[in-house]
Structures are given as structure tokens and as C-alpha cells.
Copies of this chain bind each other. A is one copy, B any other.
Amino acid sequence: MNESITRNADARRIQSFIAAAFRACGMPEGNAARMADLMSEADIGGQDGHGIFRLPQYIRRIRAGGMEVDPKIEVISERAATALLDGGNGPGHLVMSRAAEIAMEKAETTGVAWVGARYSNHAGPAFLYSRMPLAKDMIGLYVAVGSANHMPPWGGTDLLLSTNPISVAVPSNARPPVVLDMATTVAAYGKVKTVADKGGTMPEGWMIDKLGRPMTDPTKSAEGLLLPIGGPKGYGLSLIFGILAGTLNGAAFGRDVIDFNADPQTTTNTGQFIVALNISAFADVAEFKAQVDEIWEQMKSSDRLPDVETIRLPGERLAETTAERRANGVPIAPALRERLDKLADELGIDRL
């Protein structure tokens, strides 16, 4: 049956579907459950390009021998406040969950910890990992080398850089945590893909072609160049984050980055890092959280430009979308549902 309308899927159903799909590919139960937790959290949080949307691609990679379902994730070098993980070519979700655990454990005593990873893979949206330290009253900071290069250096046309996202999460008290989750490009490539899926056009300013002309057709994005925020500044951020998350960890960066959309087989050697910063090493935790609430109030109560209805904080929409989708389910576009149905049939599991 071909459908033409977007229907919602229950969040728990998305979770069980993802787990079943991975189990059907030979992934151990615990790993599959972890993947399902995190990927469904991406959907529930509104990151439509980074949750179940990626499932067919991950499965394709696993079946092509390009990603391990039971990776050996090892600490290959360690100091009191740092660790470098070899992810064993496992899904980034498993690698960076482990990295976050180690970072939190270390920061408990040292005050801060920085854990990098090599031989990881795409890990979904950055906020999944920056939020993890919140449970321990820590601030989380996560940076990844993007899993495909769609951005040139400023002034160039060779695709040497990715969106290299950054996310920082800061706990609050009564208000939602402040969660910044941003690409260093005006638009993340996943966003371009979801616009293409919905049959829309991109606003000018997201991409240009190799002659520098604005590009608005998302189906042509493979020939386009993503634009960095603030011109050379976003390029600089992307370059620096790439060095920190990639090169420093012995992971791919620049020309070494494998386009995981185009090539399901080659080991990507994706690099990421997470920092856990223990609030109690600097401040009284309760007092700090109350101050973050106070910052919310300050920003929200600012006078506004004409025609602006409300001022938002990073993490506000995430909290709203999460509440709304937990109650009402996650919208699944027809094109995606079709791909997921096909995948279910291939794997011999129940359709979503």
C-alpha cells in the first residue's frame, strides 16, 4: 500500500521496531536495546533526520560489513581525566554512550574529563550525548566529525569539511536544561535530506553550487556546498572541531572522511569526543541550577523586536517537542514509512 499522508507512530513502537530490526541483523539484545533507546530519543526530541530515518542506512551498513553489531570498545590510552576509546567500528551510539560513562566517572573526582573516540560511526544527534552528564549534575559537551563532507574551506569548492556539530547541555532547576545542539553550517545535511523527503525547497543561504550561486533544490544537494555560519567563522569552528574530534583521536578528518551515505562498506573511522564538567568543582549545584533558571527568566522577559512573539532558549523546543511527541507520537513522512516497510519485510519483522 502506498501512502501519501504523514501518520504518527507511537514513540514506544518506534523503539521496539528499531530494536527488532537490529536484532534481526544479529545485534546482541543489550546493544539493540541501547540503539533503540537513543535513536527513538532522537525522534521524540524532533531530530527527524537523525532517528529512525537513519535506520535503513545503518542496517545497510551492517549487512555490507561496514559496521559491527557487537563491537569491542576498548580504552587504548588513559590519564586521570582523559581517555581515548577505540570503538571497534561499532555504531556511534554504543561508542559514545560508553565514552560518556567514562567521562562522568572520571569527572566525579577530577572535576572535568575529556574522552575521545576513534573507529566510531555516526551517532545520531549530538544532544543525546551532551545530555548524559546532566543526570550526574554535570555539564556535557559533545563534538563529532560529521559522517560525510559537504562543506569546503571558506572560499574553496573541495568538500573537505563536514557540519561537525557541537552540543552543550547545562542543567537547570524548574526550567528545561539549556541544550545547544548546532551544526557549524547554516543547515545540517540531515535537514537538507528531510526537506528533500518532504518535497520542499531550501531557503537561499543553506547551500551554493561550485560557481557560488545559491542552490534551493534539495534533490541536487550532492552537487552543492553547505555554507558555514558567519562565513569564515563557521569554517574555523568546523576545522577546529574536526581536528579535536578527528585528528587528535586518530580518527578520519578532511580527505580521509568516508561518505557514509554513498559508501556502506568502508570503515568510516569516525571521531567524536565528550567532555563532562562537574558543577560541584566550581559552584554549589542547587545554587547554580537556580541561576540557570534565572537566566531563562532574563532572556524570556527581554523586550522584543517588532513582530517577534516570543524569545526562545536553546533546548526549549527540544523539551516541548519531547513532551508533545511522547503524548502524540512521532510523525513519519510517507517516503520514510515506505522505506521502513520495505526494510521490515526484508528483515522479516513486523511493520511499523
List A residues at the B interface (Cβ < 8 Å): 77, 79-82, 84, 109-114, 116, 139, 152-158, 160, 168, 170, 178, 180, 182, 186, 210-212, 229-230, 232-234, 236-237, 239-240, 243-244, 247-250, 253-255, 275, 277-279, 281-283, 288, 291-292, 294-295, 298-299, 302-306, 308, 310-314
Contacts and interface: CB of A to CB of B under 8 A. Distances in A.
Given A114-B111, A230-B230, A247 B295 contact: yes
Given A114-B277, A212-B306, A229-B230, A314 B236 contact: yes
A256 to B, nearest CB: 9
B314 A109 contact: no
B157 A302 contact: yes
Copy tally for this chain in the complex stands at: 2
A254 B109 CA distance: 30
B112 A158 contact: no
A112 B81 contact: yes
B311 A156 contact: yes
A302 B155 CA distance: 9
Contacts of A79: 109-112, 278, 281
B156 A82 contact: no
14 contacts: A79-B109, A79-B112, A79-B278, A80-B80, A81-B81, A84-B281, A153-B313, A155-B305, A160-B299, A170-B240, A170-B244, A180-B239, A229-B233, A249-B282
B153 A311 contact: yes
B254 A303 contact: no
A247 B234 CA distance: 26
B110 A240 contact: no
A84 B282 contact: yes
Residue among A210, A212, A281, A294 having the largest count of chain B Cβ atoms under 10 Å: A281
A288 B248 contact: yes
Contacts of A152: 302
A9 to B, nearest CB: 29
B295 A253 contact: yes
Nearest to A315: B236
A180 to B, nearest CB: 4
B230 A154 contact: no
A70 B73 CA distance: 51
A282 B77 contact: yes
A239 B82 contact: no
A305 B212 contact: yes
Contact of A180 (B116, B237, B275, B299): B237
B292 A243 contact: yes
Contacts of A240: 168, 170, 178, 180, 314
Residue among A114, A168, A230 having the largest count of chain B Cβ atoms under 10 Å: A230
Given A82-B112, A170-B240, A178-B240, 10 more contacts: A77-B282, A79-B110, A80-B111, A82-B110, A82-B111, A114-B277, A139-B248, A168-B244, A230-B230, A239-B295
A268 B156 CA distance: 42
